[in-house]
Amino acid sequence: MKYRLGQKVKYKRISKKIEIDMQYWIPKDFEQDEEKILERREFIELYEERIGYIVGRRKLVFQTIFSVNNDNYDDVGDVIEFVNIVRQEKRFAYLVAYGMGQTNYVLEEDLKEVN
């Protein structure tokens, strides 16, 4: 961990969670052995640099990779297709407080130390 708890930092780019529907895709949307990527977080560039304090470090999901799973069968022998999560791409982000009860998630490469 490069930055310590309580350390003063400045940053201009933050990460926000993307709100998604529970219905991602239907199996007909997939080609054979195709994987689809769903972005789970977006990056927002702030108008001006913000100064805050490190209050924690979190492991966040940035992408989810899906595929179709045809290996499940019901009692009649028909194939039940459903979308399966293959893996999730995770990264660490710092939780930075910039006001009373106001925090942002910021990647390490977007932080600058303030003296």
**Domain spans in the chain, listed from the N-terminal domain onward:** 8-113
> Given a cut of 80, is residue 106 above it in pLDDT?
yes
Rounded distance between C-alpha atoms, residue 112 and residue 4, angstroms: 13
pLDDT of residue 25: 63
pLDDT of residue 71: 61
pLDDT of residue 57: 95
Name the pTM for this structure. Answer: 0.78
Rounded distance between C-alpha atoms, residue 112 and residue 13, angstroms: 11
pLDDT single digits (tens) 30-55: 676 778 888 899 999 999 999 999 99
> Given a cut of 90, is residue 24 above it in pLDDT?
no
User: Is 11 exposed, middle or buried (CB count within 10 Å of its CB: 0-12, 13-18, 19+)?
Assistant: buried
Neighbour-count burial for 28-59, b at 16+ CB within 10 Å, e otherwise: eebeeeeebeeebbeeeeeeeebebbbeeeee
> Given a cut of 90, is residue 60 above it in pLDDT?
yes
Residue 28, SS3? helix
> Given a cut of 70, is residue 27 above it in pLDDT?
no
Rounded distance between C-alpha atoms, residue 71 and residue 61, angstroms: 27
